[in-house]
Structure 1
Amino acid sequence: MTPDPLFYLLSGLIVMGDLVAALFFLRFWRQSGDLLFATFAGAFLLLAVGQALLALTNAPVEEKSWIYLLRLAAFVMIIFGIAHKNRSE
């Protein structure tokens, strides 16, 4: 079963939004050198890659479950960045 073309459009918008957010946080990391911004940039990059793989893979849903591990890694990165920021202050 092929997904609706709207799925591809929305996936592309999500990937673009994640990449814009990653570049946004990367710019602030380069200005401040704060690790929190670097972890947020990496997390949004992982979210973009995961969404792109989810849209571009033509496998059944059961075989795409490993892609969600990228989302888990992104959220772990965010938690690590926040915990590191709170611990260092």
Structure 2
Amino acid sequence: MLSTTSSFFTGALAALYAVAGLFFLRFWKRTRDALFMSFAMAFALLALNQILLALGGFEREEQSWIYLLRLLAFLLIIAAVVRKNLEGRQR
């Protein structure tokens, strides 16, 4: 189980990831650019990852299935950036 300090920081990090996701969602609503939606979804996955870590009490997160959420979030960001760069070259 996580200590009180560790739980606090895990919760704070989850909240900050959620705020970042909402920030990108606001930009997506304004521009309808897929890059912003990809970033919003990635940060939502990162927030979910932190929430599950706090509630699950995993001893070694890198050896659990929860690590796949973080991997998916970073793959989503990489794919969005590559897609955006390819769109820019085609114009």
Asked if the contact 1:54/1:64 (under 8 Å) is kept, the reply is no
Residue 80, structure 1, aligned to residue 82, structure 2 = no
Deviates more, 1:10-19 or 1:54-63: 54-63
TM-score in terms of structure 1 length:
0.92
Any runs of at least 4 consecutive aligned residues in structure 1 with deviations exceeding 6 A, and if so which? none
Does residue 57 (structure 1) correspond to residue 69 (structure 2)? The answer is no
Change over 3 Å in CA distance of 1:62–1:75 after alignment to 2: closer
> Which structure 2 segments of 5+ residues have no match?
none
The structural deviation recorded for 1:14 is 0.3
> What whole-Å deviation, never above 9, does each CA across 1:9-37 have from its counterpart, x for those lacking one?
00110000000000000000010010000
Asked if 1 retains the 8 angstrom alpha-carbon contact of 2:14 and 2:47, the reply is yes
Query: Shift of the alpha carbon at 1:4?
Result: 1.1
Find the aligned partners of 2:58 and 2:20 in 1 and give their Cα distance: 28
Confirm or deny that 1:41 pairs with 2:46. no
User: Aligned partners of 1:16 and 1:55: how far apart in 2?
Assistant: 12
Percent of residue pairs identical: 47
Q: Which moved more, 1:68-77 or 1:50-59?
A: 50-59
How many aligned positions are there? 88
Cα RMSD of the aligned pairs, angstroms, is: 1.6
Which segments of 5 or more consecutive residues in structure 1 lack a partner in the other structure? none
Listed one character per residue, the Cα deviations across residues 45-82 of structure 1 (whole Å, up to 9, x for unaligned) are 00000111011003443796110100000000000110
Superposed displacement of residue 3, structure 1: 1.9
